[in-house]
Amino acid sequence: MLHFRRGGRVFQRTLRAVAASLRQLSYVPTSWQGVLAGLNADGRGQLEPFLVAMTREGGHPRLMALVLDQLADQQESLQRERDAWSFVWSGPEPLHAKTADTFATVDQLIRRARSSLLIATYNIGLSCEFRGLLESIALRLESEDLQRVDLFFHPVQIAEGFGSDPLAAIRRWFHAEVWPWPAKPRAYVDRRLLSGPAERCCQHAKVVIADAETDRASALVTSANFSEAAQRHNFEAGWLVSQPWRAKQISDHFQRLVADRLFVEI
């Protein structure tokens, strides 16, 4: 496959413009100056050797145009893939000032969600600011601004004191300390917590997905817990993806874990 040094939307338009000019030709010109008129030196430097090489191979201008349009399609596809991902970072200011901030990204995902949220975390932060964030979600559930919220977590604050009925203890703590508001999410914990296995195990994934079943779905996969310490102070890294099919893929994975009873609703 041919590879041009330059990419991006401007070069895509250049490729398509040159392809359109080539389609106007019924013959192979002896010079490409007219076809490449208006391009800067870099554009001419990349395209002219290609056109010359195609001419040597007996290529007709319409064939060259077809190849350039296909190259433009590939450039466009690559650009969409690049635009769909962004790096997200937590850390003390000003070290992450030029990178998307984890807390701001999570807050934006939650605010922009119009139908559903999926949140997976190890620790649920109970600072004043995060309780306010949880309350805002509860109020949107109550008003039906959100139809569904799924919350996967590990009850780290009481992990050493479940007693004889771990599920009941987790449920009491969750409704009293984490989510006291009437409108409740579907909250899940690792089933292995309830059987007390010898090995240490926990739900440790950190994910936030907005509107997973829609064409506006987006997802953050991060090392940061759903807590103020993780999202504002720790060094944490993640990727935000705005491709709906990828966000749905992550959401579907969690739903399969629930269907397979690897997570239990409290």
Q: What is the pTM of this model?
A: 0.79
Q: What's the mean pLDDT when you consider all of the chain?
A: 91
- 63 vs 84, residue with greater confidence: 63
Is 211 within a domain?
A: yes
**Of 82, 98, 81, 88, whose CA–CA distance to 206 is shortest?**
88
Q: What is the pLDDT of residues 184-206, one digit of tens each?
A: 999 999 999 988 665 677 899 99
- Tell me the H-state helices in the chain: 8-23, 41-56, 61-83, 102-112, 128-142, 166-173, 192-195, 228, 244-259
Query: Does residue 65 contact residue 22 with C-beta atoms inside 8 Å?
Result: yes
Is pLDDT above 90 for 80?
A: no
- How would residue 153 be classed by pLDDT, with cut points 50, 70 and 90? very high
Where among 82, 102, 121 does a domain terminate? 82
Is pLDDT above 90 for 227?
A: yes
Give the angle subtended at the CA of 133 by the CAs of 233 and 91, to the nearest 5°: 15
**Which residues form the domain of 232?**
85-265
Is 126 within a domain?
A: yes
Is pLDDT above 70 for 39?
A: yes
Query: Does residue 106 contact residue 208 with C-beta atoms inside 8 Å?
Result: yes
**Are 172 and 135 in the same domain?**
yes
**Of 257, 262, 225, whose CA–CA distance to 119 is shortest?**
225
Query: Which residues make beta-bridge pairs with 149?
Result: 117
Is 2 within a domain?
A: no
**Are 125 and 257 in the same domain?**
yes
Neighbours of 225 (CB within 10 A): 25
Q: Report how many domains make up the chain.
A: 2
Per-residue pLDDT, 7: 61
Neighbours of 170 (CB within 10 A): 23
Query: Which residues make beta-bridge pairs with 85?
Result: 241
Query: Which amino acid appears at position 60 of this protein?
Result: H
Is pLDDT above 50 for 1?
A: no
Neighbours of 76 (CB within 10 A): 16
- 96 vs 262, residue with greater confidence: 262
Is pLDDT above 90 for 150?
A: yes
Q: How far apart are the first and last CA of the chain?
A: 54
**Are 67 and 125 in the same domain?**
no
Per-residue pLDDT, 5: 55
For residue 91, the Cα-to-chain-centroid distance in whole angstroms is 20
| DSSP-based three-state secondary structure for 88 | strand
Pick from 86-90, 159-163, 250-254: least confident: 159-163
Neighbours of 101 (CB within 10 A): 18
Domain containing residue 183: CATH number: 3.30.870.10
- How would residue 223 be classed by pLDDT, with cut points 50, 70 and 90? very high
**Are 27 and 157 in the same domain?**
no
